[in-house]
Amino acid sequence: RTAYLNGTFLPLDEARVPVMDRGFLFADGIYEVAAVLGGRLVDNAAHLARLDRSLSEIGIRNPHTAEEWERLETELATRNGLTEGLVYIQVTRGVAERDFSFPKGAVAPTVTMFTQEKSIVANPLAETGAKAITVPDLRWKRRDIKSVALLAQVIAKQQAAEAGAAEAFMVEDGVVTEGSSSSVFIVTKAGAIVTRPLSHALLPGITRAAVLALAAETGLAFEERLINARELPEAAEAFYTSASAFVMPVVEIDGQTLGDGRPGPVARRLRELYFAFAEGRRS
Ligand code: PLP
C-alpha cells in the first residue's frame, strides 16, 4: 500500500512520523475521511470544506487548496488501485518541543494520507441491519471539529463490539448526540425522519447533509430536533450515516428489536438514493 507523507508518496510501512509530533503527543490535529466509489471520490467538496473548517477552528494553516487536496487524494487512490473504499487525511500542528501552547516559530503541519479498501455498497450488514447500543457521551464540548482525539469513541466502539453491536449511540443528558463514528437518525411511528440539529455538540456529518437533501428532494418529511434516548425503542426505524457506512439500517438497540427486526423501508430507500447520488457525482 502506498501512503502520502508531507509531499511524498511512499510505501505505507515506511511512512514515519516523529515522536515529537503534536498529533502524537497532544492529539493536536484533525482528520477527514471520504469514500471512493467506482474509483471516484464521493461528495468530496463537502469533505474538503469541513477539513478546512476543522483546521481553521484550531488555528492550523490549511497547507493545500481544495483542488490540490483532491489531486493528491485522487493520485493516492490511483496508486493504490482503489475502486471502493476510503481515503483518510490527517493534518497535525507539526513537530516541535513539547509545550502545550502553539509552537512560537513557523512549524509545518504534518500531512498524512492513506487508503483503505472496503465494500461499502455490498455490505452484508446492510442486508440484515445493524445492532447498536447506547453509551454515555464522554467527549469534549467541540465535537463539530473533526479532531483526532478519539479516545471516547474508541471506548464506545469497543463496548459496542463486546456487546456484538456495530455502533454505539452516545447519550448526553438523556439525549442522543450521535454515533461513535456516525450521525443518528430515527423514523417515528408517525413516519417522520428525525435527526439532531447541528451545533458544537456533534460533527456536521457530510453524509447526514446529503441524506437530508435527498429526503427533501424526494418529498420525505424530516425534522431536525433532539432525540430523547427513550424514543429509541419506540421508533419505527433507526439508521446511521457516515462516509464509510453510507446509510446503515439499525434493527436492534440495547437488545430491543425495532419494528419487525428487519431494515425498514425508509432506511432502505435512503440507502438506495444515496448510492445513486454517490455514483453519479464526483464531488
Ligand atoms: N459523527 C462522528 C462522531 C463521526 O466520527 C462521523 C464520521 O466518522 C460522523 C458523525 C459521520 O460523518 P460523515 O458522514 O461526514 O462521515
- Identify the band that residue 63 occupies on the pLDDT scale cut at 50, 70 and 90: very high
Is 118 tagged catalytic? no
- Identify the structural domains of the chain with CATH numbers, from first to last: 2-117 (3.30.470.10), 124-280 (3.20.10.10)
Question: In whole angstroms, how far apart are CA 15 and each of 5, 12, 18, 113, 148?
Answer: 7, 5, 10, 10, 18
C-alpha atoms less than 13 angstroms from C-alpha of 83 in its C-beta half-sphere: 3
Cell of 39: 474509483
Q: Find all residues with CB under 8 Å of 182, minimum gap 6, and list them.
A: 167, 205, 240, 241, 242, 245, 248
Give the pLDDT score at 219: 95
Percent share of the chain, pLDDT over 90: 98
Mean pLDDT, rounded, of the chain: 97
User: What do you get for the CA distance between the two ends of the chain, in Å?
Assistant: 25
Which ligand 1 atom lies nearest to the CA of residue 210?
14
- Pocket-testing residue among 37, 89, 182, ligand 1, by greatest number of atoms within 8 A of Cβ: 182
Mean pLDDT of 143-148: 98
- Pocket-testing residue among 155, 242, 248, 270, ligand 1, by greatest number of atoms within 8 A of Cβ: 242
Which ligand 1 atom lies nearest to the CA of residue 180?
3
Mean pLDDT of 267-274: 98
Cell 467538496, located at residue = 45
Q: What is the ipTM of this complex?
A: 0.99
Give the pLDDT score at 36: 98
pLDDT at 283 over 60: no
List 8's β-bridge partners, or say none.
Answer: 5
In tens, the pLDDT along 190-222 reads: 999 999 999 999 999 999 999 999 999 999 999
CA 39 to CA 84: how far, in whole Å? 6
- Identify the band that residue 24 occupies on the pLDDT scale cut at 50, 70 and 90: very high
Cell of 271: 440507502
Q: From the CB of residue 82, how many other CB atoms can be counted at a distance below 10 Å?
A: 21
Mean pLDDT of 245-254: 98
Give the pLDDT score at 7: 98
Ligand 1 center from residue 129 Cα (angstroms): 19
pLDDT at 281 over 70: no
Task: Name the residue at shortest CA distance from atom 5 of ligand 1.
Answer: 181
Give the pLDDT score at 282: 35
In tens, the pLDDT along 66-105 reads: 999 999 999 999 999 999 999 999 999 999 999 999 999 8
Mean pLDDT of 229-247: 98
CA 89 to CA 99: how far, in whole Å? 25
- Identify the band that residue 246 occupies on the pLDDT scale cut at 50, 70 and 90: very high
pLDDT at 168 over 90: yes
pTM: 0.97
Give the pLDDT score at 224: 98
